[in-house]
Structure 1
Amino acid sequence: MARRGSGPIYDPLGTPYFLYNQNYGIEILTKLNALRHEATFTDAILCVGHEEFPCHKNVLSVSSPYFRAMFTSELKESRETRICFNEVSPWTLKRIIDYAYSGRLEINQDNAQEMLSAGNLFEYPDIVEACCSFLKRQLHSSNCLGIEYFAHIHSCQKLENEAHEYALENFSIVIDSDEFLDLPLDRVIQYISNDHIDVRNEETVYHAIRRWLNYDSDERKPFLPQLLEQVRLPIMGLQNLRLLESDQLLQGCHKGLQMIKEAQKNHQISNERPEHRRSSLPAIIHPRPSTVAKEVIIVISGINSYITPSVEMYDTQKDRWFILPDLPRLVSWFSVCTVANSILIMGGICDGHVVDTVWKFDVVLRQWTEVARMPERRARHACAVLHDKVYVCGGVKGDGNQLVESIDCYDIYNNSWSKAGQSENPRKQARIVPYKNSLLEIGGIQGEAKVNTIDTYICTGDKLKHSGEQYLLPSRIEFAQILVLNGIFYIIWEDTKKMLALDPLKRTFQPLPDMNCSRIHCATTVLNGKLYVSGGLIDSKPTRLVESFDPVLKRWKKERSMSEKRAYHGCLTLQMC
């Protein structure tokens, strides 16, 4: 017996059925390409030298306005079967034809510029755009000037602008490239006259023109006065200006020497006149923005999958991280602070031993040097700066189990240490911050117990004494961060994301929004009225993440991530250019 309802579904209305093969176009192109390789139905032969490429005029015409115009106009090529080209290589023409039949093209370092030129010639905008995107990703201090010029002659305005911007932002490195030496005079002037070249000082600009002139001194030395006009000589240090007078390059150049002497005079004027009158001086005297010191964030060392010596600087104006000279030794569990616009790295664990070494970073010279050692070896300790003196307290010594009771003071101007006092409640992994004429110590571990108090030390001269009073926190805190902004303490419980604001005058706590993610062994600092939290361990793994908190908006925001993952690191704010 037959099953009821079996068989095709009957459609009494005869509803139309639409066939749509999504791969139809690809299949047709594939078959046309096969016919091309067989030289079947081909009606044009493109030639370069002795190489010949049979093609279909209709395929080339629909793929390119260039070929459409060639085959449909009154030009002789429209009537001929063989068309010869001299502007491209056989290899490049073959790739263009392959693209016309397949829509596929591999772009790499070896062919990007050649394919961009061919894409321009044969009017394949997708090829041009793809090559520009590839070249943008290849921008480097060694090639950006060449890419900028290449983009200019091929009318690739966007790539030209991007390469130019890259050269401006990396000018202090670009000037050491071979491409810089090959620049014509007008392009050298175009760069050194630009207000936005990224240089730390005007001496770098002089070094640039000196290097360019010396590359072909016989031909280029007459351009010296013209180039010197673009160097903001009065911004240079007076001592350096005096040294220039004996520079071999300037000998015999009366006008150049006269400019140096005039710069010395203007230099003295700019120092002597009140600030409100400097605006009346010539524009050439005003410094370039990159040579003016600004507040930046510095992150130092830490642990990735290993102890890293790397140091990074975050410029909020450019929203970029820059690499600074590495810390000379691999060290962990150190303390870090900034005083007199220098960075100090104190103590820590190096090669498995608690050490007393102190490293100083000079932000002008960008060099690390070792300074006077601490009176006592210590690690997992805390430090803070009050009245330009560095105070170090807490931590462990010896085998890492014995707590340090003394508080030591460092005078950076005399490069000397002295004893400042005794810790009332010695602890490790705490944090201390300055407030008015006192230091506050928060968090950490005493013995095996987490701490729930804030101890206060009053400063008299360079001595510290416990005030006898404490702030009691709502809960115990081991992984603590504390920052002071506008007289308010911001206390972070790293492992729970919780943050409170403590008003020391009212002795009141205010709950604030949690961080975006919990982390431990991170580092914090204050910049431009915001609190920054960098790195740390998230789920036991170091992270590159950085987030900031705006106390006015009461909102956390993700910031530009660090270049390198790190935890147990230092983080601070200071002025650099």
Structure 2
Amino acid sequence: MEIVKVRVGDSVFETNKSLLLRDCEYFRALYRSGMVECHQEEIHVKNLHARGFLIMLAVAGGERPALSDDEILEAIECAAFFQSEPLAKHLQDLLSSDNCLLMYQASATYGLWRLHEMSAQFIRNIYSDLQEELSGLPQEMIEYVDSQVPSVFVAVGSHSSCAAEEVPMAATRTVCYLDEDEKDWKVLTALPMEASTSLAGVTVLDNKLYIVGGVHGFDKRAVDASFCYDVVTDTWGLLPGPRQPRYNLTLIGLEDCLYAIGGESERRTISSVEKYNVVTKEWSFVSHLPRPVAGVACAKSMSRIFVCLWKPMETNEIYEYIPKKDTWVLVTKLLKHQSYVHYMVAHRDNLYVIRNTPKDDFLRCLMDCYNITTGQWTSMPGHYGNSKGALFTSVVRGDSVFTLNRTMTLEYTIDGNTWKPRNQMQGFPRNGSVWTFLLRIPNERKNVELCLK
């Protein structure tokens, strides 16, 4: 391991040369150039803050530090100067309602354009909460935020694929979005005739909707194909199915890959996990889960994948999948008497696990919060009503959580250790399980056709 010295301001850092070459385009270009600086005992970088460089080294070493406003400014400056993609991605993960305006302005100043775009999208999603602060921005920056497409709450019911004689029922096979101005649901698109959302894996990656697996009919014949919906072009594409046909799986997307986690195959619960690369359009097996599981609770926080596995009678274990090492790592355990985690949703670096009460009263749920940065558990105060599974449809946008059932769509505000009801809208008129997610729908794609009542 070759060690190099880098002087930033008045501070000197000794670090692994290969780490700098891997993560920083600046150092790759420097050492390719053959300039005299790369042969010196010490590389001197002027007009940068040492703390920003220290943060960059920490991220390169696998840490994910929380940052103050001053540290964010220096990290953005450093990420832009050294062209450090890992640091830029970490800053994207840290976006919140508390720092989005700061990141938006600083990323424009230093030319960190992907962070600038993501900050603008984040601000657009919580526009009403920031209107007073936005008024202090330059007009062109306000106009750029206004040009962004906000994320909307989208839902689709559980449907098997349609045979020709089932066409009259096809009117219910629709993907719908919530019109928050009219507080009602409208049709976005219809499912392909061959697609099934019954016991399927459903997720969104890069603003495209993916449906993988699922079953045909009551005999639970696994669906071989997968489907992708492009909301911008309003088109469905056909994708290959996983190598191991599966249903009752969990599907989640991260960095150009879909992960089909566990599920059932040929009426047995499985532990296998497959990855689909959306660029190469190929499926491949990755490390198995520690044990077989179907319909596992799963969430993505800070660009990290977490699942919650259950061990009778009282142990819920949260594992993280680490793509670079292709391994599942036990993160923490939640010990609650006769409690089973049914759903998990993430907000910032918090995982909210939604579980039944010890008496198995599924209409009254308890929630616990695990912070992945501090490693601390917090019990959420009180009970949360869960009429017909509303909390099992939780989706986070900004500091809001959207949930729904047939009678009501409820928006909560995350405030400290509580979820406070904020807004109530029309319920989603579908029987059975419902899949929920966020999509950015272009204005010209929105129509006024209402869903079936």
- Structure number with greater Rg is 1
Give the TM-score normalised by structure 1: 0.39
More helix, by proportion: 1
RCO higher in structure (CA 8 A, sep ≥6) = 2
Give the TM-score normalised by structure 2: 0.48
More strand, by proportion: 2
